[in-house]
Amino acid sequence: MTSRRTFLQSSAAAAAALATSAWPARAENAPGITDTEIKFGQTEAYSGPASAYGVIGKTEAAYFKMINEMGGVNGRKINFISLDDAYSPPKTVEQTRRLVEQEQVAFIFNGLGTAPNVAVRDYLNQTKIPQLFVATGAATFGDPQHFPWTMGYQPNYQTESKIFGKHILASKPDAKVAILFQNDGFGKDYLAGVKEGLGADHAGMVVKEVSYENGEPTVDSQIVTLQGSGADVFVIAATPKYAAQAIRKSYDVGWNAVRYLTDVSVSIAAVLKPAGLDKAKGLITAAYAKDATDAIWKDDPGLKAFADFIGKYGTANDLRDTNAAYGFNAAILMVEVLKRCGNDLSRENIMRQAANIKDLELPMLLPGVKINTSADNFYPIRSMQLAQFDGENWKNFGDLITA
């Protein structure tokens, strides 16, 4: 005796199956999915040393709330459960298991951190639960062969730093390169990427590489050391606070190097202004997202959408916080994937839709940078644009580079 609900589900699923005709028989809706609700979860760093990233989760929650107020996704409201793991992998395992086993979520979205995501990757793949759009640039998360349920999101750090390396090689082949990097996965990936971009036979170009710990008061001493190496190219692989210190100090000590800055620290209001706009002149970066505080986007509809959203659902601080723009973009992507699932919200279909995106644009992505995924490409964003800071805005130059 089929209840009305299962009948509806099966006909919807049949319709979906016809629409995506390449795929076989229907699957059950995932746990956490009801007629009225889509429940999914996230682990985020709201406390501890990485708590600055908590804004991502906060922004995403606000965005989903807005979507719910506008009617939800295909008639269903979003129930987004974001738990704190304090960037500690054992806690991530615990919270993820809680989300999956107790809260019965359909999937995990935009979990933060390399180590935390690695810690739960096996578990989620074994239980066939989508680990979507992980919030980290580590290169290891776009591997559909081994981890078919895990998908990355942002361009990985090695992609960006390779672009730097190649650009250095092309524009200044006899350069002496100094690198400041954070002593963790992010920084070390950068270091490796720059060297890869330069190429093994140019490895000698890197004359000094110095690291710093997240939590140290200042990197001034490191800058002095790097300057002392006589380098004329300086790559800054640092998070906002340390990037600002590095930019200011490298100017103050009169070091005339060509400076490359990671796009993690690209915000004008949050990084360049504190460093000193005149001191930041000449910085080169490879970006994929719009900086909400760059006046160049004043009349841009994407920025307007973001600003409107923050006006109603965020705080003034959020406008200048790159993490808020990041969360905004990611949340829009997630809603789009859910929309495309239609009425088939099985985990298989959610994964399928996520892996089947062609040229999707998001409001806060740079023009030309589009989301693309396929069965063997689990890196949604692979394009970056070189830009240089002229004292007021980031000015794009060169072509869009797609890795």
Q: How far is the CB of 301 from other proteins (least distance, A)?
A: 25
- Strand order through the sheet with 394-402: 206-212, 177-182, 233-237, 258-261, 284-287, 383-389, 394-402
Phi (first) and psi of residue 374, to 5 degrees = -155, 180
Structure tokens at 130: 């989508």
Distance CA 48, CA 216 (A): 15
Piece in contact with other proteins (CB under 8 A), picked from 41-49, 164-172, 299-307, 395-403: 41-49
Q: How far is the CB of 147 from other proteins (least distance, A)?
A: 12
| Contact letters for other proteins, residues 193-232 (x by CB under 8 A) | -----------------xxxx-xxxx-xxx-xx-xx----
Q: How far is the CB of 278 from other proteins (least distance, A)?
A: 14
Place of tokens 């009225």: 36
Distance CA 182, CA 76 (A): 43
Of how many residues is the chain composed? 403
Piece in contact with other proteins (CB under 8 A), picked from 109-117, 142-150, 280-288, 393-401: 109-117
43 - beta bridge partners?
A: 83
Piece in contact with other proteins (CB under 8 A), picked from 6-14, 30-38, 85-93, 378-386: 85-93
Q: How far is the CB of 228 from other proteins (least distance, A)?
A: 4
| Contact letters for other proteins, residues 113-152 (x by CB under 8 A) | xxxx-xx--xx--------------x-x------------
- For helices 54-69 and 322-341, what crossing angle results, to 10°? 40
Q: Which of residues 270-299 bind other proteins (CB under 8 A)?
A: 270-271, 273-274
20-41 in b/e form (b: 16+ CB < 10 A) is beeeeebbebbbbbeeeebbbb
| Contact letters for other proteins, residues 306-345 (x by CB under 8 A) | ---------x-xx-xx------------------------
Using CB under 8 A as the binding rule, whether residue 61 contacts other proteins is answered as yes
Nearer to other proteins, 271 or 386 (CB): 271
Spatial contact of 52 and 12, defined as CB atoms under 8 Å apart = no
Nearer to other proteins, 122 or 392 (CB): 122
Binding-residue total with other proteins (CB under 8 A): 75
Query: Which amino acid does the sequence have at 93?
Result: V
Q: How far is the CB of 212 from other proteins (least distance, A)?
A: 6
Nearer to other proteins, 15 or 66 (CB): 66
Nearer to other proteins, 252 or 361 (CB): 252
Q: Which of residues 354-393 bind other proteins (CB under 8 A)?
A: none
CB atoms within 10 A of CB 69: 11
Element (H, E) at 192: helix 185-198
